[in-house]
Amino acid sequence: MRRCPRPAGSCCNRAKTSGTLGRGGYSRPGIVGEGLTSNAEAGLPAATNRMGTGSLHRFRMPLGTRLFSLFGTILIGAASFVIVGVAVVTLFMKQWLIGAGIAVVAALMVELTRYVLRDLQGKWGLRIVFNPETVELDLPANRSLIHRPPSRRLSIAYRDIASIETRLEAYASFGTANMQRAYVLRLKSGERVYLFEERALGTSLQSDYFTRAVEEIAARAEAPVEDLGMARGDNGVLGVWGTKPADWASPALSSGEQRRMWGTAVRTGQVAFLLVALALTARGVAALLR
């Protein structure tokens, strides 16, 4: 495979040549500036031909994913309602110290409920329809939990699409990090439309929902998928409160910084998985001892 190394850290490091990305393609991180020249090497979808891949005419998030998000939102919302009620009753009984502690937990649960509700709205409302000459995009406001793009309903002619831009985004704080890949549609008019994002890359929870949709748009528009490298945003408090993305025009991180971010993201995923496994184990042991 032809290799054309590019200097690390440049916002113009872009993978434009063809390749094919299957499911699980994000398991190997692509480091900009390390000679990764094909979309497959960089972990990106690829364009094929004007008629598209021929296998996708309408895109929605998988039904199982949407239902799981719905169930989680209902469960967390119900738990929040109960905890808020307990806090109110405790404070009404003038148990000020205990009530204050429960109130703090209730506030955190209410914020968590709002967070998962936004995620549900983004998953449930996103639709793409591929017509012979146009692509119809139904993009809900909460399709990104960090970028906060506005809701968009668009019908765009394939001939008006210049490229699909994508970048890795690292969000680190308190020794933890999460990694996601954002996709933006760039039109020949210069307008950019935020599409969607793959989340939790480098962990057992990483998503790979949008590969086929990106392939189809790029193929039908005969447009490149351009890799802008990796940017670092503000993770706020554990990625839930106060997050802020880097400007889309920000230069890419150096290859060394990218490796450090990947390492931190992978370790964060391992620790999270370990904590869940320990909690389930403890629950099982407690059940056996009853």
What's the rounded Cα separation, in Å, for the pair 134 and 59?
14
CB atoms within 10 A of CB 248: 15
What's the rounded Cα separation, in Å, for the pair 124 and 170?
25
- Nearest Cα neighbor of 30 from 51, 44, 9, 10 is 44
Q: Are 181 and 27 in contact (CB under 8 A)?
A: no
3-state secondary structure of 106: helix
What's the rounded Cα separation, in Å, for the pair 72 and 258?
33
pTM value? 0.73
Strand partners, 180: 169
Sheet holding 176-187, edge to edge: 192-198, 176-187, 161-173, 225-234
| pLDDT (tens digit per residue) in 62-95 | 999 999 999 999 999 999 999 999 999 999 998 8
What's the rounded Cα separation, in Å, for the pair 117 and 30?
32
Q: Specify the range with the lowest mean pLDDT, choosing from 16-30, 94-108, 260-274.
A: 16-30
| pLDDT (tens digit per residue) in 54-63 | 556 889 999 9
CB atoms within 10 A of CB 120: 19
Query: Residue 168 is encoded by which pair of tokens?
Result: 């890795």
What's the rounded Cα separation, in Å, for the pair 195 and 147?
11
Q: Specify the range with the lowest mean pLDDT, choosing from 42-51, 72-81, 233-242.
A: 42-51
Percentage of the chain modeled with pLDDT above 90? 39
- Nearest Cα neighbor of 49 from 166, 216, 163, 214 is 216
Q: What is the DSSP letter of 158?
A: G
What's the rounded Cα separation, in Å, for the pair 244 and 20?
32
What's the rounded Cα separation, in Å, for the pair 26 and 41?
10
pLDDT in the model for residue 201: 87
What's the rounded Cα separation, in Å, for the pair 113 and 76?
6
